[in-house]
């Protein structure tokens, strides 16, 4: 008998790539969190000036259909609806005179806004 209340997750090849600098920054930020069971959740949500926006946050939940992967030593979770939008995406950490932050290169986006936080 199967427990239907348990979320089904899939451990597979990650739809995203974290560069070494991005993975190092995520590990640094994860070390500050209280829970050891967290993962970096990467999602695509409606919004932003181009129609869709990226969401990156720490999450201890496992949702039905999540794709769980280890990317450069970082536990990553992508929900089943976001995975096709993110396939082949590279996330880098950029630290420059103009500021520091995650830079997202998504080959699936047709256009992006000037701020780089949303895409179409």
Give the model confidence (pLDDT) of 89-107 as tens digits. 999 999 988 889 999 998 9
DSSP state at residue 48: S
Q: In the chain, what are the domain boundaries?
A: 9-119
Q: Yes or no: say if 53 and 115 are a contact pair by the CB < 8 Å rule.
A: no
For residue 15, what pLDDT is reported? 85
Report yes or no on whether pTM surpasses 0.95. Answer: no
Give the model confidence (pLDDT) of 21-73 as tens digits. 999 999 999 999 988 889 999 999 887 666 788 999 999 999 999 999 999 99
- Distance in angstroms (rounded) separating the CA atoms of residues 16 and 76: 9
For residue 49, what pLDDT is reported? 65
Looking at the domain covering 9-119, what would its CATH class be?
mainly beta
């Amino acid at each position: 008998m199967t427990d239907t209340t348990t979320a089904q997750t899939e451990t597979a090849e990650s739809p995203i790539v974290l560069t070494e600098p991005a993975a190092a920054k995520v590990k640094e930020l994860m070390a500050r969190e209280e829970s050891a069971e967290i993962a970096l959740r990467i999602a695509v949500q409606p919004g932003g000036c181009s129609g869709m926006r990226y969401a990156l946050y720490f999450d201890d939940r496992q949702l039905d259909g999540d794709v769980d992967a280890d990317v450069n030593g970082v536990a990553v979770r992508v929900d089943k609806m976001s995975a096709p939008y993110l396939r082949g995406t590279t996330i880098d950490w950029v630290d420059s005179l103009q500021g520091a932050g995650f830079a997202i290169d998504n080959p699936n986006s047709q256009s992006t806004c000037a701020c780089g936080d949303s895409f179409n």
